[in-house]
Amino acid sequence: MNITISFSELKEIIAEKTNNKVDIDLCFVQRDTIKISYKPIPFLPAIGINVKIDEIDNSKICLSYDAGNAIDMVIKGLVAFLDDNIPKEIVELDTSNQSVSIHLDSIEQLQKPLEMMEIQDVWFEDNAVCAKIKLMV
């Protein structure tokens, strides 16, 4: 089974969860990469970061990012500032290798669904994120 979530749906979810404080743009780069842009203040240029899916299995998604030196320094500063608020059992950040691992099986809301399905692939299309999932019966 294939599941598709449009970039506009993702933007709406992020806006709702952040009380409209975070407005991002998502742009397709290639099948395994998207560009995420954020404009913090109207008169500043947008900050962009490419995020690539490196590996995925049913328990973990491994991502890498490429943001350039200036943005990488900002990310390192944010990670240091937010360190206590990032659940280490869920998100592993390695700023020296520009990588992020998300442990899906450590997210309480996903534990039951992950027992009933297998994530086989995740990819990007022009305006969406897609996933191929096999139901376990």
| pLDDT, tens only, 110-134 | 999 999 999 999 999 999 999 999 9
The pLDDT confidence band at residue 95, using thresholds 50, 70 and 90, is confident
Question: Closest Cα partner for 26 from 95, 93, 102, 124?
Answer: 124
pTM: predicted TM-score of the whole model, two decimal places: 0.83
Tell me what the mean pLDDT of segment 97-105 comes to. Answer: 92
Of 106 and 71, the one with more pLDDT: 106
DSSP bridge partners of 34: 28, 51
Q: What angle do CA 123, 129, 131 make, to 5 degrees?
A: 60
- CB contact at 8 A, 63 and 100: yes
pLDDT at 30 > cutoff 70:
yes
Amino acid, single-letter form, for residue 29: V
Give the containing element (helix H, strand E) for 60: strand 60-66
The domain limits of the chain are 2-135
